[in-house]
Amino acid sequence: MLGGMDISQPLRLLGGLSPAQFMKRHWQKKPLLVRQAIPGFQPLLSRPALFDLAADAAVESRLLRHGGGRWTLRQGPLPRRGLPPLGQPDWTLLVQGVDLHHAGVHALLRQFRFVPDARLDDVMISYATEGGGVGPHFDSYDVFLLQAHGRRRWRIGRQKDLRLVEGLPLKILADFEPEEEYVLDPGDMLYLPPRWAHDGVALGECMTYSIGFRQPARGELARELLQRLADEAGDGLGDAAYRDPGQAAVAAPGAVPPAMFDFARDAVERALRDPAQLAMLLGEWLTEPKPNVWFDTPPARGDAAGGVALDRRTRMMYDERHVFINGEGYRASGRDARLMRQLADERSLGAGQVARLSEDAQFLLAQWKEAGWLHDDA
Ligand code: SIN
Ligand code: CO
């Protein structure tokens, strides 16, 4: 089978549902609790390894403490000595984007690639002491909450009243009305659609992995694409100037000529008219690495004629006419396009496939390799 996983195959991860069934019945619709989604699951990072990441300036982290109705939030980086003692209850450390820093966590994220890469965001790991949590809240995105260590009690509800407690450094529902309650053991997983209220409280020391998704807002997307379009519009549209040989003499010089408005509207419409360009800009935006991502450039090596694998930080997608990688878009067709799509879907290409790429495409691969975007596959 070409591409990703077999979407009609029942998965333990989804409680025996196939990805196709899960997407149809649950995705963006209703929660799913899966006992032993990953049987015998063990934390992929030890506590000290997680704390090391939290201390790293290149990693996004937060520390939350509560007690007596008060919440305090500290943004990372968080050196070890900045964390409360392990014996102290009611605090939690959240470390974002761990998939970028750890191969095993990236492999975990890949198990969720029955959802398009354009929607996958990251894996956040939370560490909490007894009673710790982020309080009752709702998120605007879907999330899979995988219990990795210890136990956590989740209470969830459909929550109509979305009012928040005022004056807190984080979003806490003013009047949370839970409808269901589950205690998750390591390997158990809870899927929640956007806007479902939830409150997870650690029952003793606890680690939870959140597989999160990105959900661009219409306004955000319009702003991003229009900005990129604006950067290119000048060149693309040429410098044909407004002409008005038919302009009559005016007695009211302050009035904007209607023809000027028509000219302006036409210019904007021309900039928007080319769907291929919009598709190019969308793909470039979707594959743009996060601001804190950088790639390690590999030591210079001879031409290895073997296969290649994408670096875990690389975002690669495609549409009918283009291939996108880490914010760059290329037009592609024919055999090159097929092979590049395969690279995006499977995140690797065998030596035989690399050999079938055109000279131009092989040249691109070499450049991407030099940038650290992909590596020789062992
Ligand atoms: C957590 O892991 O503590 C919070 C995850 C969430 O509520 O989205
Ligand atoms: Co949440």
The phi and psi torsions of 156 (rounded to 5 degrees) equal -135, 160
Residue 1 forms part of a structural domain: no
Q: What is the mean pLDDT of the chain?
A: 94
Query: Which atom of ligand 1 lies nearest, measured to the CA of 198?
Result: 7
Considering the domain architecture, whether residues 226 and 290 belong to the same structural domain is answered as: no
What whole-number distance in Å separates Cα of residue 368 and Cα of residue 313? 13
Tell me the mean pLDDT in the region 246-275.
93
% the chain with pLDDT above 90: 87
Query: Which atom of ligand 1 lies nearest, measured to the CA of 143?
Result: 8
What whole-number distance in Å separates Cα of residue 196 and Cα of residue 229? 36
Considering the domain architecture, whether residues 136 and 258 belong to the same structural domain is answered as: no
Residue type, 148: A
pLDDT greater than 60 at residue 285: yes
Q: 76 Cβ partners below 8 Å, 6+ apart?
A: 54, 55, 57, 59, 60, 61, 62, 63, 95
Considering the domain architecture, whether residues 258 and 278 belong to the same structural domain is answered as: no
Residue 112 forms part of a structural domain: yes
Considering the domain architecture, whether residues 265 and 354 belong to the same structural domain is answered as: no
How many Å lie between the centroid of ligand 2 and the Cα of residue 119? 17
Tell me the mean pLDDT in the region 110-127.
97
pLDDT at 33: 98
Are 156 and 225 in contact by the 8 Å Cβ rule? The answer is: no
pLDDT at 3: 54
Are 197 and 135 in contact by the 8 Å Cβ rule? The answer is: no
Considering the domain architecture, whether residues 52 and 102 belong to the same structural domain is answered as: yes
pLDDT greater than 90 at residue 378: no
pLDDT at 349: 97
pLDDT at 199: 98
The pTM assigned to this predicted structure is 0.93
Q: Does ligand 1 come within 6 angstroms of the Cβ of 142?
A: no
Residue 2 forms part of a structural domain: no
What whole-number distance in Å separates Cα of residue 89 and Cα of residue 204? 8
Q: Does ligand 1 come within 6 angstroms of the Cβ of 157?
A: no
Between the alpha carbon of residue 45 and those of residues 101, 149, 222, 279, the distances in Å are: 11, 10, 38, 38
Residue 289 forms part of a structural domain: yes
Angle between helices 334-346 and 359-370 in degrees, nearest 10: 30
Indicate the length of the chain as a whole number.
Answer: 378
| Closest among 144, 141, 115 to 19, alpha carbons compared | 115
Least confident range from 50-59, 266-275, 333-342: namely 266-275
Considering the domain architecture, whether residues 114 and 234 belong to the same structural domain is answered as: no
How many Å lie between the centroid of ligand 1 and the Cα of residue 126? 7
pLDDT at 1: 43
Considering the domain architecture, whether residues 267 and 280 belong to the same structural domain is answered as: no
pLDDT at 238: 74
Q: Does ligand 1 come within 6 angstroms of the Cβ of 143?
A: yes
We report the CATH number of the domain holding residue 335 as 3.40.366.30
How many Å lie between the centroid of ligand 1 and the Cα of residue 176? 16
Q: What are the tens digits of pLDDT across the range 314-334? A: 999 999 999 999 999 999 999
Confidence of residue 300 (pLDDT cuts 50, 70, 90): low
Q: Does ligand 1 come within 6 angstroms of the Cβ of 134?
A: yes
pLDDT greater than 80 at residue 296: yes
pLDDT greater than 70 at residue 305: no
Considering the domain architecture, whether residues 196 and 307 belong to the same structural domain is answered as: no
Q: Closest-lying ligand to the alpha carbon of 138?
A: 2
How many Å lie between the centroid of ligand 2 and the Cα of residue 224? 26
| Closest among 37, 51, 92, 90 to 68, alpha carbons compared | 90
pLDDT greater than 90 at residue 233: no
pLDDT at 301: 65
Q: Closest-lying ligand to the alpha carbon of 91?
A: 1
Considering the domain architecture, whether residues 178 and 36 belong to the same structural domain is answered as: yes
* Beta strand 348-349 pairing with 308-310: antiparallel
Query: Which atom of ligand 1 lies nearest, measured to the CA of 212?
Result: 8
- The first and second tokens of residue 44, run together, are 């992929």
Confidence of residue 42 (pLDDT cuts 50, 70, 90): very high
pLDDT greater than 80 at residue 286: yes
The phi and psi torsions of 372 (rounded to 5 degrees) equal 85, 10
Between the alpha carbon of residue 229 and those of residues 224, 265, 377, the distances in Å are: 9, 15, 37
How many Å lie between the centroid of ligand 1 and the Cα of residue 103? 22
Considering the domain architecture, whether residues 46 and 176 belong to the same structural domain is answered as: yes
pLDDT at 235: 72
Q: How many CB atoms lie within 10 A of CB 38?
A: 19
Residue 19 forms part of a structural domain: yes
Q: What are the tens digits of pLDDT across the range 198-219? A: 999 999 999 999 999 999 999 9
Which of 176, 208, 209 to mutate for ligand 1's pocket (most ligand atoms within 8 Å of CB)?
A: 208
Residue 4 forms part of a structural domain: no
Are 110 and 323 in contact by the 8 Å Cβ rule? The answer is: no
Considering the domain architecture, whether residues 63 and 196 belong to the same structural domain is answered as: yes
What whole-number distance in Å separates Cα of residue 305 and Cα of residue 352? 9
Residue 144 forms part of a structural domain: yes
Least confident range from 48-62, 131-145, 167-181, 221-235: namely 221-235
- The first and second tokens of residue 131, run together, are 């009673």
Tell me the mean pLDDT in the region 41-65.
97
What whole-number distance in Å separates Cα of residue 117 and Cα of residue 163? 32
Structural domain for 300, as ranges: 274-378
Considering the domain architecture, whether residues 34 and 157 belong to the same structural domain is answered as: yes
Q: Which helix (H) or strand (E) holds 201?
A: strand 197-213
Q: Does ligand 1 come within 6 angstroms of the Cβ of 198?
A: yes
Residue 267 forms part of a structural domain: yes
Q: What are the tens digits of pLDDT across the range 169-202? A: 899 999 999 999 999 999 999 999 999 999 999 9
| Closest among 290, 291, 315 to 368, alpha carbons compared | 315
Looking at the structure of the chain, the number of domains it has is 3
